[in-house]
Every structure is written in structure tokens, then in C-alpha cells.
Amino acid sequence: MSFGDVPSVAVSEVPPPSDETAVLLDIREDDEWADGHAPGALHIPMNDIPARTDEIDIDAAVYVVCRSGGRSLSVVPYLNRYGFDAVSVTGGMVAWQRSGRPLVADDGRTAKIY
């Protein structure tokens, strides 16, 4: 499978956190997450995915996001191989911030991706 074969969507196609049929899976590292993330996202760093797939709703559409879209291109095929309906979010959290979608930081500081 080439990266061109990985299902992907634009940030504008990611459903809001209130959509219970979808999961926004943020696979960035802890420090990246702490700087800012989408409200309602599920945080599982990329290297932890194999040990923590039971935390991801197998019945939900899974939108996988990283910083700029590279890491998600590796995780999506892995998840889909194990029965998930996963897609990569093109441009990652950089595109998320540029599009004006909401960001939060856990410690109360101003959230930012770049």
C-alpha cells in the first residue's frame, strides 16, 4: 500500500466532538498534546497504539490526526487492518489550527500547534 492509498479527509470533514459515531484520535506525543489539541479528542501516542487499541471505539469512524499528517498515514492502515474504519486528517493539527477550529490546552495556557 502506498501513502496515496490511505483514506484521508480534510479538516473540514471531521465531525464535531458531539458526534458520538466518530472519534478524533490524536496520535502526537505528550508534549505536542500539552501544547494544544482539539476538544474531545482521544489522545494515544503513535507508539502506544498497538497496546491501547481497546480504548478506541471499533464501531466509530476514526479520524487520525498528528501534527502535519505524516504519522497518521502510517497509523490508518494499521488500524484498518484490525477492523477499524480509520481515515487520516490531511495536514494534521497544523491544518486544524489554520482553519480556525477550536484548540484547548490542559493547563489553561493559550493552545497552539505552531
Residue 32 lies in a domain: yes
- Number of structural domains (the chain) is 1
Which residue of the set 49, 66, 79, 86 is catalytic?
Answer: 66
Residue 110 lies in a domain: no
Supply φ then ψ for residue 88, to 5 degrees: -90, 140
Q: Which of 110, 86, 113 is nearest to 97 (CA)?
A: 113
List, for residues 56-103, the tens digit of each pLDDT value: 999 999 999 999 999 999 999 999 999 999 999 999 999 999 999 999
Residue 112 lies in a domain: no
Residue 107 lies in a domain: no
What local confidence, expressed as pLDDT, does residue 107 receive? 83
What local confidence, expressed as pLDDT, does residue 2 receive? 47
pTM score of the predicted model: 0.95
Q: Is 66 a catalytic residue?
A: yes
CATH number at 8 reads 3.40.250.10
Residue 109 lies in a domain: no
**Residue-range definition of the domain harbouring residue 57:** 3-98
